[in-house]
Amino acid sequence: MATYRILLFIIFCLCFHTLSAQPPGYLGKRFSISLNTSSSIALKGPDYNNKGNSAYNAEPNGIGFNIAYELNLSYVLQRYASIGLSVSQYNTGATARLLTPALGTELLVIPPSNIGKDVHDVFMQLKVKSIGLTHQMYKSKKGGLAPFGNQFFYGLKVSSVKGNIRDKHTTYVYDDLSAIFGHGPLGTDDAEVLGFTFLMGWANTQIFFDRVLLKTGLTFGIPISIKRIKYANDPSSHPDYSSNENLVIYENEMYKRMQNHELFNVDIGIGYLLF
Amino acid sequence: MVSCTKYETQYEGPYSDKDLAENNNSELSKELVFVSDGVVFLANKFVSDLLVVSDEGGVQVASINNNHTKVLYKRAGYNIQIYDIASGSNGEEVAGSSNAYWFDYHANNETIYFLDGSNLHTVGPEVLLQNPVNLINESGIPNGYLRGATILENGHIVFSVLSLGTFTNRYLFLSDGEDILNTKETQGFMDRIRLSKEEDVLWCGDEYNNFLRQYSLSDLSSETLSSGVFGAPTGSNNGYIVTDDNEIQTPGFGTVEITTGVVTAIDY
């Protein structure tokens, strides 16, 4: 008999977690779709149009903003928890300094150790496409109930960063030779990196007209790792090691710019409860 | 917002390695000809990327025309050969030039002139008042030896004569083809005479004294000595100079050592 009562008690406790007096979601609706924007001021680098504190031309250049546009699908798991899948894209800018060995120097009477390098200051426009998975935890004591109210979320985001050199300023070490030979290839074409970011933040979602969701929040990103798509870590894949070095520098700047953007964002979004 | 303003190129604009490749690897045109150990070479202005025009040997002199399309060279006992740079092959030869010891193109890039004994001959469009012209007779030095000559665009002739006698005298003459217009007495054994494209300077080799003698055509009395054996001017103040160490000094791009053999002629 005692065993039976203990078993009944255990079952009751489990049911408490699995059965609710009220189904999760808002009026039983658990699935929502939303369009969000995440924005931040361009402090660590220029934005896509070269505005911001660290603009390419090194002159005060107004205020730059980086804005990401996100499509989010969210599903309520439990009364106080939901998961979200998002895809997003944003554009931003970055700068880099690349070097190439001066061309034609074998024709000069200069010891090889003294041969200089041409300097290329470049402004890159980056396009970042991301996919993320987050888990939202709603605070019941703060009046939260999935999918609305105050929430804390965390998750993982994978971003593909691609860039192209939109503007370049080259300083030649030997003007006479550069007029004939130009400069060597920078080796940055088709550069791409994958960045992995841990996300966390706080948000608040309000419901209007029983369907419309309005979300505001703050997101913090913590970089985890980078994967180079063009195998820049393998010099043997590039016959000209100088170009390979430039590719590494270029990819580092792309990744760094993406990291800086992910550090902090202000989110605003509007959604719709589907079913 | 401020950042909505579209970016405008400030410097060199968009860049891609794909666009760079063609410009970067384009070949420099062949502008220089020199003879080394009887072999004729074409080279770019840096004396590199050598192209062998003739490796049959036995060549002492070679010249290139002003627009760098044709090369003249001659093997001992044979007529002057005309090499077309664009096609990379020999075309015609200059008939009756088997005894020529100096030759070049006139500024019109068509008329070829050569020295045979005391006579200056031309082949092609006429540029002289008379053809051939005996330059020793022109000089008025009956026992003189003709060392070198060049024809100016206007048909005037600059030539050098060595007079051997009790005293050895050396002269540089400017003639209109009939009369002597100017005379410069020099100390050099003047040969391998080269004219700049603008025809403002004249270079003469003096291998005996290891001097390169440079003259202003407007005033033959002005003579500048440079270290070197002979050369080819590219402008008023510079050009290619062959040194007695068998090196070629380039105009602004250092000195190139020639290891293929003794350089006996150069032209730009």
Task: Dump pLDDT digits (tens) for B25-52.
Answer: 456 788 999 999 999 999 988 888 889 9
- Note whether A182 contacts B20, CB cutoff 8 Å: yes
- For residues A46 and B3, what is the distance between their CA atoms, to the nearest angstrom? 9
pLDDT of res. B189:
75
Q: Is A101 on the interface with B (CB under 8 A)?
A: no
pLDDT of B175 reads 92
pLDDT of residue A7: 59
pLDDT in tens, B205-257: 887 777 888 888 887 878 888 888 899 999 887 899 999 889 999 887 778 88
Query: Would you list which residues of chain B are within 8 Å, Cβ to Cβ, of chain A?
Result: 1-7, 9-18, 20-21, 23-24, 28, 46-48, 252-256
Report the pLDDT averaged over residues B73-79.
Answer: 93
Q: Which of these ranges, A224-228, A232-236, B234-238, B262-266, has the smallest mean pLDDT?
A: A232-236
Contact of B82 with B103, CB cutoff 8 Å: no
Which range is least confidently modeled, A44-48, A107-111, A151-155, A228-232? A107-111
Give the pLDDT confidence score for residue A44 in this predicted structure: 76
Separation CA B149–CA B202 (nearest Å): 11
**Two structure tokens written together for A159:** 């971003």
Q: Which residues of B touch A164 (CB under 8 A)?
A: 14, 16
* pLDDT attached to residue B25: 44
Task: Count Cβ–Cβ pairs < 8 Å, chain A vs chain B.
Answer: 90
Q: State pLDDT tens for residues B128-167.
A: 998 999 999 999 888 888 889 999 999 999 999 988 766 6
Range picked from A199-213, A231-245, B220-234 for highest mean pLDDT: A199-213
Answering whether pTM is above 0.80, one says no
DSSP calls for B38-101: TEEEEE-TTS-S-EEEE-SS-EEEEEE-TTS-EEEEEETTSPEEEEETTTTEEEEEETT-TT-S
Q: Averaged over A119-129, what is the pLDDT?
A: 92
Nearest CA-CA partner of A251 in A233, A231, A228, A221: A228
Q: Do A189 and B16 touch (CB under 8 A)?
A: yes
CA atoms of B231 and B207, how far apart (whole Å): 11
By CA distance, what is A40's nearest residue in B? B3
| Interchain proximity B20–A188, CB inside 8 Å | no
Considering only A36-40, A241-245, B158-162, which range has the smallest mean pLDDT? A241-245
Cα-based distances in Å from A75 to A57, A131, A157, A273, B54: 46, 16, 18, 10, 83
Please tell me which residue of chain A has the smallest CA distance to B46: A107
Interface test with B, best of A97, A188, A189 (most B CBs within 10 A): A189
- Which range, of A39-53, B17-31, B77-91, B238-252, averages the lowest pLDDT? B17-31
B75: its two tokens: 């093997």
Count Cβ neighbours within 10 Å for each residue of B150-177 and write b for 16 or more, e otherwise: bbbeebbbbbbbbbeeeeeebbbbbbeb
Q: A93 contacts in B (CB within 8 Å)? A: 7
| CA nearest to B256 within chain A | A107
Cα torsion angle, A166, A57, A183, B67, sign: positive
Find the mean pLDDT for residues B64-93: 93
How far apart (Å, rounded) are the C-alpha atoms in residues A47 and A63?
9
The pLDDT of residue A10 is above 70 = no
Q: Give chain B positions within 8 Å (CB) of A106.
A: 48
Residues of A within 8 A of B253 (CB-CB) are 107-108, 176
pLDDT at A226 over 70: yes
Residue-level pLDDT at A167? 92
Average pLDDT, chain A: 82
Q: For residue B247, which residues of chain A lie inside 8 Å, CB to CB?
A: none
* Cβ neighbours of A53 in B, within 8 Å: none
pLDDT tens sequence across A153-167: 999 999 999 999 999
Taking an 8 Å cut-off on Cβ atoms, the answer to whether A176 and B1 are in contact is no
What distance in Å separates the CA atoms of residue A136 and residue A29, rounded to the nearest whole number? 16
CB contact under 8 A, A107 and B46: yes
Which pLDDT band, with edges at 50, 70 and 90, does A11 fall under? low
Whether the pLDDT of residue A62 is over 90: the answer is: no
| A211 or B219, higher pLDDT | A211
- Residues A65, B1: C-beta atoms closer than 8 Å: yes
Tens digits of per-residue pLDDT, A178-194?
A: 777 788 888 888 788 99
| Chain B residues touching A176 at Cβ < 8 A | 252-253
Contact yes or no for B9 and A170 at CB 8 A? no
CB atoms B3 and A48 under 8 Å: yes
Q: Which among B44, B28, B65 is positioned nearest to B256, based on CA atoms? A: B44
Tokens of A199: 């996300």
